[in-house]
């Protein structure tokens, strides 16, 4: 039975956000007997609201609050008011993700040591390594039902994936496969197996794909220790005279403001809204924003180096059928500096429905070329480059001095400039992706610049030294002991893998630390 806590109950842990970080943390703490209030800015949808319709779902769950973009990256020109794609609903972006669940590689935790001093990059090593995180990766995979782990079979490859694999083999690649995915390949956990209907990013109508919307959140409520407050947008975090967090001010669906007292506050609002909240929580004690004595809050924004390669063939591919991302090529994910860049990238399938494909395939204007491609939509294959981008202090989230949201709070600006390493990696990916499809006799190959960012990381990163980041190895603020960051903002580097599995692993680990610190009276 869902709990209901008083606004003046200062014993609760307040978690801001209900996605991969916040939703998992809420469930773990609740099962440890710790009382939790989750503040979620978005609505609470029911399963009947989820439809296999990309246009309808985009409008239903996308975070459309005002944001701006700056910098020289292509997204600032193509999508200046929607530079990132995140979700605003209970379950967060776990509703719209495709389900690819990959572990980081060992070297990606130690980029400063392995890559050296890269000019223009602000590299540091994570204060943890792969060995330390491996037990939590195991637990995360089990919790999420990651196919290809724990004895569960991999999902079947789609025809789209077979095209990818055939091209990969022809150009000499050897490490191509169906990726491990947090989508049931067999019925488990009271949820169905994948029904191969496609369009996984729009939300899974069968609940085969793991999402906190229908796993972690309701299970947290069942303990009687967790309350989920939907349409409750956090505005600022408050503290006492000693700098200890005391609660969160939030606005409800009607704009009325409330103050929820707290013993601990955990911010898991995504790598845009988390730094925005910390920066908007400035005070005489924290003039640069809460937890920002290092000046690193909002800095080192990471989004992955991305780009798309589409190919048109003379026979049908039907990229929209089957599990969306049922194919990956991992040969380029290794560390190999002979290619002219550090880090690595994966090539993942990128099926798109006709509405988004029509908009994205040839950026800028309509015309004969676009019409020719759209007429052959059924014959199109596509892959997405996803690689490690370089952290830079100047790539950052800031808050406007004049532009404000519906609650009167300064809105975020997302500033990004590609590092030369990012550009070199993307160009290499374009070349290899084109070669892969060309080897199969593609009639036309099209390269597309990055879309609004979906893998947002790194704006409140963990660090060994307080001056280098925002939180310690457990996501705990260097400045404020009872303040935590619990989402991808913690990442010290982006790696070349989809981030969700790592976010969940870190949340599992953080929950143990919070319980230990509470029991010991440290916080």
Which residues, 6 or more positions from 225, have their beta carbon under 8 angstroms from its beta carbon? 3, 29, 30, 31, 33, 34, 35, 36
Count: domains in the chain? 1
Calpha distance 214→95 (Å, rounded): 9
Would 6 be classed as within a structural domain? Answer: no
Q: What is the pLDDT along the chain (523 residues), one digit of tens a residue?
A: 679 999 999 999 999 999 999 999 999 999 999 999 999 999 999 999 999 888 889 999 999 999 999 999 999 999 999 999 999 999 999 999 999 999 999 999 999 999 999 999 999 999 999 999 999 999 999 999 999 999 999 999 999 999 999 999 999 999 999 999 999 999 999 999 999 988 888 899 999 999 999 999 999 999 999 999 999 999 999 999 999 999 999 999 999 999 999 999 999 999 999 999 999 999 999 999 999 999 999 999 999 999 999 999 999 999 999 999 999 999 999 999 999 999 999 999 999 888 889 888 887 767 898 999 999 999 999 999 999 999 999 999 999 989 999 999 999 999 999 999 999 999 999 999 999 999 999 999 999 999 999 999 999 999 999 999 999 999 999 999 999 999 999 999 999 999 999 999 999 999 999 999 999 999 9
Q: Show the 3-state SS of 290-305.
A: CCCCCCCCCCCCECCE
Calpha distance 425→307 (Å, rounded): 10
Burial 379-394 (b: 16+ CB within 10 A, else e): bbbbbbbbbbbbbbee
Burial 238-266 (b: 16+ CB within 10 A, else e): bbeeebebebbebbeeeeeeeebbbbbbb
Q: Which helix (H) or strand (E) holds 261?
A: strand 257-261
Q: What is the per-residue pLDDT for 114?
A: 97
Percent pLDDT > 70 in the chain is 100
Q: Which helix (H) or strand (E) holds 415?
A: strand 410-415
- Is the pTM higher than 0.95? The answer reads yes
**What is the CATH number for 345?**
3.50.50.60
Would 197 be classed as within a structural domain? Answer: yes
Helix 130-144 crosses helix 500-519 at what angle (to 10 degrees)?
100
Q: Which residues span the domain enclosing 148?
A: 13-519
Would 5 be classed as within a structural domain? Answer: no
Going edge to edge, which strands form the sheet with 410-415? Answer: 68-70, 410-415, 396-404
DSSP string, 346-395: EEEE----HHHHHHHSS-SS--HHHHHHHHTGGGEEEEEEEEPPPP-TTS
Q: Cα dist. 103→25, 109, 212 in Å?
A: 19, 11, 19
Would 484 be classed as within a structural domain? Answer: yes
Would 391 be classed as within a structural domain? Answer: yes
Calpha distance 109→161 (Å, rounded): 30
Would 53 be classed as within a structural domain? Answer: yes
Would 4 be classed as within a structural domain? Answer: no
Would 193 be classed as within a structural domain? Answer: yes
């Amino acid at each position: 039975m869902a709990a209901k806590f008083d606004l003046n109950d200062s014993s609760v842990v307040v978690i801001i956000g209900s996605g991969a970080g916040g939703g998992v943390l809420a469930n773990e703490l609740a099962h440890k007997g710790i009382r939790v209030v989750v503040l979620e800015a978005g609505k609470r949808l029911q399963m009947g609201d989820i439809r296999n319709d990309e246009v309808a779902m985009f409008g239903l769950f996308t975070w459309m609050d005002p944001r701006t973009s700056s910098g020289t990256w292509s997204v600032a020109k193509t999508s200046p008011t929607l530079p990132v794609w995140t979700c605003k609903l209970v379950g967060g972006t776990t509703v719209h993700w495709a389900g690819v669940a990959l572990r980081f590689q060992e070297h990606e935790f130690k980029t400063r040591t392995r890559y050296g001093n890269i000019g223009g990059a602000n590299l540091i090593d994570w204060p943890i390594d792969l060995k330390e995180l491996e037990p939590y990766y195991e637990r995360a995979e089990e919790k999420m039902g990651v196919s290809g782990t724990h004895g569960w079979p991999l999902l079947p490859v789609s025809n789209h994936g077979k095209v990818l694999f055939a091209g990969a083999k022809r150009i000499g690649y050897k490490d191509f496969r169906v990726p491990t995915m947090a989508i049931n390949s067999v019925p488990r956990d009271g949820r169905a197996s994948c029904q191969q209907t496609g369009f996984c990013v729009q939300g899974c109508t069968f609940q085969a794909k793991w999402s906190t919307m229908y796993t972690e959140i309701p299970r947290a409520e069942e303990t009687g220790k967790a309350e989920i407050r939907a349409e409750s947008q956090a505005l600022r975090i408050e503290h006492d005279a000693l700098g200890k967090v005391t609660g969160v001010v939030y606005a409800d669906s009607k704009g009325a403001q409330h103050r929820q007292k707290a013993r601990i506050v955990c911010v898991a609002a995504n790598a845009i809204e988390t730094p925005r909240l910390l920066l908007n929580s400035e005070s005489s004690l924290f003039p640069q924003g809460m937890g920002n004595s290092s000046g690193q809050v909002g800095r080192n924004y990471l989004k992955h180096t991305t780009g798309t390669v589409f190919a048109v063939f003379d026979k049908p591919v039907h990229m929209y059928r089957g599990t969306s991302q049922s194919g990956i090529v991992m040969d380029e994910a290794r560390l190999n500096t002979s290619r002219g860049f550090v880090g690595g990238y994966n090539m993942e399938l990128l099926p798109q429905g006709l509405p988004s494909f029509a908009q994205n395939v040839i950026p800028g204007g309509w015309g004969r070329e676009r019409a020719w491609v759209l007429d052959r939509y059924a014959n199109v294959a596509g892959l997405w480059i996803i690689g490690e981008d370089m952290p830079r202090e100047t790539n950052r989230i800031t808050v406007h001095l004049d532009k404000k949201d519906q609650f009167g709070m300064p809105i975020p600006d997302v500033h990004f400039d590609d590092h030369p390493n990012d550009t070199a990696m993307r160009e290499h990916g374009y070349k290899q992706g084109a070669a892969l499809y060309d080897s199969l006799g593609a009639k036309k190959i099209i390269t597309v610049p990055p879309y609004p960012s979906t893998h947002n990381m790194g704006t409140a990163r963990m660090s060994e030294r307080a001056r280098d980041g925002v939180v310690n190895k457990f996501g705990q603020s260097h400045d404020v002991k009872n303040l935590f960051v619990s989402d991808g903002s913690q990442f010290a580097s982006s790696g070349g893998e989809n981030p969700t599995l790592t976010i969940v692993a870190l949340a599992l680990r953080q929950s143990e630390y919070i319980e230990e610190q509470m029991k010991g009276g440290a916080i």
